A and B are shown apart, each in its own frame.
Chain A
Amino acid sequence: MNNEDIKTLKNNSFKVWAVFATSIGLVMLGILLVKIGMDGMHRISMQFFTSLPSRRAEEAGIFTAWVGTLWIMGTTALIAIPVGIGAGIYLEEYSKKGWWSSFLEINISNLAGVPSIIYGLLGLEVFVRLLHMGESILAGSFTLALLILPIVIVSTRESIKAVPKTLREASYALGASKWQTVWMQVLPAAAGGVMTGIILALSRAIGETAPLIVVGALTYVPFTPKSVFDSFTVLPIQIFNWVSRPQAEFLVNAAAGIIVLVAITIVMNGSAVLLRNRWQKNVKW
């Protein structure tokens, strides 16, 4: 075998390994989906969605959990979306290049890397105790909002950056003020990318468990919240609670809860990807 053959052999063996490496994650995803389907699918029924948690596994349901998740997501979105877009606009359109803007930048990239559980500790001391929100939906939502803020800011900035300068100049030439230009020209032009970022950020928040446990979300809530000041549980915490029990019947419930959670995640991520592709195709500057 000459050198040339060895080279080809190495190249081809790498290809085999590469196909294996690329597919192993997909294989795991496949096994995961089949496994939760087999474990939990038979548990999915109307009763599962409308029942309160219970000590008897077959009577327990995720009613308080999904209602709590809806409350938390709604409130988190109300806080994180305006603040995140606002900060993105400020950084891209208003702030001048200098130490302040690079300080902000390093700050945001650091926040994006802070483990989620640390946000839980922040929320516990600041929102739950210092601001007296208690172990409420409001405290949980503020905590999650801070957690996903960097994602919203970064995606807002990226999509605003992609809007060409000519659009702004045309707007100024017509006599529009800076804010009018941003609000009526730049933001609508960047809307697709901003929306994608928001969906991805919320899909991250929906699966977050640890920070909400730290701010005091309960594992057993026999009632649905009536306002943002009530205590709550969410779907991932309910799943965690069921997984942690020794009895096998509760693992079935956990699997059924996981099916619901994974379905929500895949739908949200899928729509974000579709939106991104559509937006990239339609807009050609």
Chain B
Amino acid sequence: MNTKEKIIEWLLFACAALCVLTTLGIIAVLAIQSVQFFSEVPLKDFLTDTQWTPLFADKHFGILPLLSGTFLTTIIAITIALPIGLTTAIYLSEYASKTFRSTVKPVLEILAAIPTVVYGYFALTVVTPFLQIFFPSLSGFNAISPGIVMGLMIVPLISSLSEDALYAVPKSLREGAYALGSSKLQTAFRVLIPAASSGIIVSIILAVSRALGETMIVAIAAGQQPRLTLDPRVPIETVTTYIVQVSGGDVPHGSLEYKTIFSAGLSLFVITLILNNISFFVKKKYREQYE
């Protein structure tokens, strides 16, 4: 092998290694700033204090209100996205005609491609006023409206991957079920979904992790008030929104307020990292192999 080939291989290797560097960079940045943060704020306060007010005179550094906001919007989103996404997947894979399927799929994917700042506008100016017709007590900023919009946005994540998983289940399993007298519905729920469960679980985890990290929809439509509550009608703040809020203002570099965005980011990163690894594990370990 000549030198040119060797150099090229090393260059290509460097490109791939950049991904490892990125991961290390993320961990290092979050860890270094968080260590400094936790030298000033005890970990116990961070995890148990029920107030998050780093920007006020009376400072509290309890992450729980931000986490509750994040989880609340995520739960609402998944409650919407899971039944709709899974049903769509079953319909497209088992009931719909081929032409219908190939037309609807790309259009659905546009839903996931539209910038989230657009959905924020939609939640604020359409969904919230619409919900206020039925629930007059609903605040102008709330968790339910961005949650619903986020749910519809992540439908394609669940439907697309789940449909691939359902589609990959071999025909013989369907025919076996039909031969035993099952309807399409019974076949779908008792044979195909269990057979495709690993792919479906992966798609759900992906959707959850996307919802946890979603920023602009909640920053625009959920208000920016950290609050430890599960009430979807009042303004809340998510971890991501807090980071945007502080970055958009002028907090001096190196101050405790500046470090809070990294400790908040670390909490979010750890949660999504765990979820991603579970899904990677499920994908590798429980992949159904049919011959």
A interface residues (Cβ-Cβ under 8 A, vs B): 7-8, 10-11, 14-15, 17-19, 21-22, 24-26, 28-29, 31-32, 35-36, 39, 82-84, 86-87, 89-91, 94-95, 103-104, 106-111, 113-122, 124-126, 129, 146, 149-150, 153, 177-179, 200, 203-204, 206-210, 213-214, 216, 219, 236, 239-240, 243-244, 251, 254-255, 258, 261-262, 265-266, 269-270, 273
- Structural contact, B109 and A121, CB atoms closer than 8 A: no
Q: Which of B15, B183, B262 contacts A83 (CB 8 A)?
A: B15
CB of B55 within 8 Å of the partner chain: no
Contact B87 A115 (CB under 8 A): no
Q: Do residues A86 and B273 form an inter-chain contact, with CB atoms below 8 A?
A: no
* A235→B248 CA distance, assembly (Å): 16
Residue of A nearest to B126 (CB): A35
Cβ-defined contact, A25 with B126, below 8 A: no
Interface SS of B by simple majority: helix
A32→B213 contact, CB < 8 A = no
CA A247 – CA B92 in complex, angstroms? 44
Per a CB cutoff under 8 Å, which of A10, A19, A103, A206 touches B183? A10
B5 within 8 A of A: yes
Interface check B115, CB cutoff 8 A: yes
B120 closest partner in A (C-beta): A243
- Whether B216 pairs with A210 at a CB distance below 8 angstroms is yes
Residue from A22, A177, A251 within 8 A of B5 (CB atoms): A177
19 residue pairs of the A-B complex, CB under 8 angstroms, read A11-B185, A14-B185, A18-B88, A21-B83, A25-B152, A87-B15, A95-B13, A107-B20, A115-B212, A117-B215, A117-B265, A117-B268, A121-B30, A122-B26, A126-B29, A261-B115, A265-B113, A265-B114, A269-B109
Contact of B243 among A25, A39, A117, A203 (CB under 8 A): A117
Q: Are A219 and B243 neighbours in the complex by a CB distance under 8 Å? A: no
With A210-B216, A216-B247 as given contacts, are A243 and B183 in contact (CB-CB < 8 Å)? Answer: no
Q: Which residues of A contact B279 (CB under 8 A)?
A: 113
B: number of interface residues (CB 8 Å)? 86
Chain A residues with CB below 8 A from B124, complex form: 243
Q: Besides A29-B114, A115-B213, A179-B4, 5 other CB < 8 A contacts?
A: A84-B15, A89-B12, A110-B273, A120-B243, A209-B116
Given A26-B107, A216-B247, A32:B118 Cβ within 8 A: yes
Q: Please measure, in the bound complex, the distance between the C-alpha atom of A122 and the C-alpha atom of B32, giving whole angstroms.
A: 12
Number of residue pairs A-B, CB distance < 8 angstroms: 253
Do residues B12 and A86 form an inter-chain contact, with CB atoms below 8 A?
yes
Would A113 and B209 count as touching, CB distance under 8 A?
A: yes
Using Cβ atoms and an 8 Å threshold, which residues of chain B touch A121? 26, 29-30, 243, 261-262, 265
Point out which of B117, B125, B220, B253 has the most chain A C-beta atoms below 10 A from its C-beta.
Answer: B117
Interface string of B267-288 (1 = CB under 8 A from A): 0110011011101100000000
Question: Could you tell me if A22 and B268 are in contact, using CB atoms closer than 8 angstroms?
Answer: no
In angstroms, how far is the closest chain A Cβ from the Cβ of B266?
Answer: 9
> A103 vs B23: C-alpha distance in the bound complex, in angstroms?
12
Contact A210 B111, beta carbon cutoff 8 Å: no
Compute how far the CA of A95 lies from the CA of B99 in the bound complex, rounded to whole angstroms: 40
Given the contacts A32-B122, A35-B126, A240-B117, A110 and B277 also touching, CB distance less than 8 Å = yes
Contacts of A14 in B (CB 8 A): 185
**Distance in angstroms between the alpha carbons of A10 and B128 in the assembled complex:** 34
Q: Is A243 in contact with B220, judged by CB distance below 8 angstroms?
A: yes
A104 to B272, CA, bound (A): 18
Q: Are B155 and A25 in contact (CB under 8 A)?
A: yes
Q: How far is the CB of B260 from chain A (nearest CB, A)?
A: 12
B113 to chain A, nearest CB (A): 5
Contact between B13 and A25, CB atoms less than 8 A apart: no
Chain B 52-74 interface residues, beta-carbon cutoff 8 Å to A: none
A29 to B104, CA, bound (A): 12
A122 close to B29 (CB less than 8 A):
yes
Contact residues in B for A89 (Cβ distance below 8 Å): 12
Set of chain B residues within 8 Å of A266, measured between Cβ atoms: 110
Contact status A240-B219, CB under 8 Å: yes
**Contacting residues, chain B, for A261 (C-beta < 8 A):** 115, 117-118
Select which of A107, A206, A210, A258 is within 8 A of B23 by beta carbon.
Answer: A107
The interface residues of chain B lying within 8 Å CB-to-CB of A216 are 247
Q: Least Cβ distance of B148 to chain A in Å?
A: 9
Is residue B190 contacting chain A, with contact meaning CB distance below 8 A? no
Set of chain A residues within 8 Å of B114, measured between Cβ atoms: 29, 32, 207, 262, 265
Q: From A244, which residue of chain B is reached at the shortest CB distance?
A: B220
A178 to B8, CA, bound (A): 10
Verify B273–A87 contact, CB threshold 8 A: no
Q: What is the distance, in angstroms, from A195's C-beta to the closest C-beta of chain B?
A: 16
Judged by a CB distance under 8 angstroms, whether B167 is at the interface is no
Give chain A residues whose Cβ lies under 8 Å from the Cβ of B12. Answer: 86-87, 89-90, 94
Sorted nearest first, the 3 A-B pairs with minimum C-beta distance are: A115-B213, A207-B115, A86-B15
Q: How far is the CB of B203 from chain A (nearest CB, A)?
A: 13
Q: In the assembled complex, which residues on chain A have CB atoms less than 8 Å from the CB atom of B15? A: 82-84, 86-87, 90
